[in-house]
Structure 1
Amino acid sequence: MRNGEFEDPRLVEVYDAEFVWGWEDDLFMSVLAERSARRVVDLGCGTGRLAIAMAQAGHEVTGVEPAAASLEAARRKAGAERVKWVQGGADRLPARAFDAALMTSHVAQFIVDDGEWRGALRALRRSLGQGGRLIFDSRDPDYERWTTWNPVDSRRTVVLPGGEAVDVWAEVTDETDRVVTFTGHYLFGDGEERTSESTMRFRSEREIRSSLEAAGFDVDRIYGGWSREPVGLSEDGELIVVAVVRPVSR
Structure 2
Amino acid sequence: MLSDADAAALYDLLNPWDAASYPSDAFYDGLVRAASDVLDVGCGTGSMLRHARETGHTGRLVGLDPDRAALDRARRRTDVEWVAGVAAEASWAGEFDLVTMVSHAFQCLVGDDELRASLTAIRAALREGGRFAFETRHPRARAWESWAAAEPSEVVDAAGRTLRTTYHLDSVVDDVVTLTETTTDPAGTVRRVDRSSLRFLDVPALNTFLNEAGFAIEAQYGDWHCGPVTGASREIVTIARPITLA
Q: Does the pair score TM above 0.5?
A: yes
Q: Who is 1:11 aligned against? A: 7
1:99/1:129 contact within 8 Å kept: yes
Instruction: Return 5+ residue gaps in structure 1 as ranges.
Output: none
| Structure-2 separation of matches of 1:93 and 1:198 | 26
Alignment of 1:91-106 (within 5 A): 91-106=89-104
Secondary structure in 2 matching 1:37: coil
Shift of 1:55: 3.0
Aligned to 2:180: 183
- Report what 2:221 is aligned to: 223
Pair 1:156-2:153 in alignment: yes
Tell whether 2:25 aligns with 1:29.
no
Give 1:10 shift: 2.0
Q: What amino acid sits opposite 1:157 in the alignment?
A: E
Deviation of residue 234 (structure 1)?
Answer: 6.4
Inter-partner Cα distance in structure 2 for 1:92 and 1:212: 17
Q: 1:141 aligns to what?
A: 139
Shift of 1:24: 1.2
| Aligned equivalents of 2:51, 2:232: Cα separation in 1 | 26
Q: In 1, distance between residues paired with 2:232 and 2:160?
A: 35
Equivalent residues in 2 for 1:73-92 (5 A)?
73-76=73-76, 80-90=77-87, 91-92=89-90
CA drift of 1:100 comes to 0.8
Contact 2:141/2:232 (<8 A) preserved: no
Aligned residue runs from structure 1 range 103-122, under 5 A: 103-122=101-120
User: What is the root-mean-square deviation in Å for CA atoms of aligned residues?
Assistant: 2.0
**Which is further off, 11-20 or 133-142?**
11-20
Q: Percent identity?
A: 30
C-alpha distance in 2, partners of 1:84/1:66? 14
Letter in 2 for 1:179: V
Residue aligning to 1:58: 58
Q: Alignment partner for residue 45 of structure 1, among 43, 46, 52?
A: 43
Q: 2:208 aligns with which of 187, 210, 233?
A: 210
Matches of 1:141 and 1:233, distance apart in 2: 10
User: Distance between the aligned counterparts of 1:132 and 1:146, measured in 2?
Assistant: 33
2:90 aligned partner, one-letter code: R
Q: Distance in 1 between matches of 2:95 and 2:102?
A: 19
Task: Extract structure 1 runs of 4+ deviating beyond 4 A.
Answer: none
Q: 1:30 to 1:242 in 2, by over 3 A?
A: same
The residue number in structure 2 matching 1:71 is: 71
Question: Does the CA contact (< 8 Å) of 1:224 and 1:233 recur in 2?
Answer: no
Q: Which amino acid in the other structure matches residue 205 of structure 2?
A: E
Q: CA-to-partner distance for each residue in 1:32-85, whole Å, 9 max, x for gaps? A: 44xx52111001100010011233422310111101011011112xxx122001
- Distance in 2, matches of 1:161 and 1:53, equals 20
Quote the residue 2:164 is aligned against.
Answer: 167
AA matched with 1:137: E
Q: Equivalent residue for 2:191?
A: 193
Secondary structure of the 1:194 match is strand
Structure 2 spans left out of the alignment, 5+ residues: none
TM-score (structure 2 length as normaliser)? 0.89
Deviation at 1:232, TM superposition (A): 2.5
Query: Could you say if the C-alpha distance between residues 176 and 87 of structure 1 is closer, same or farther in structure 2, counting changes exceeding 3 Å?
Result: same
Give the Cα–Cα distance (whole angstroms) in 1 for the partners of residues 178 and 191 of structure 2.
Answer: 19
Residues 68, 84 of structure 2: 8 Å contact kept: yes
Code of the residue aligned with 1:11 in structure 2: it is: A
Question: In the superposition, relative to structure 1, how do residues 68 and 98 fare at CA in structure 2: closer, same or farther (>3 Å)?
Answer: same
CA contact (8 A) 2:223 2:236 kept: yes
Q: Residue 209 of structure 2: SS of its match in structure 1?
A: helix
Aligned residue for 1:45, secondary structure, equals: coil
Tell me if the contact between 2:139 and 2:200 (Cα under 8 Å) persists in the aligned partners: yes
How many Å separate the matches in 2 of 1:222 and 1:99? 19
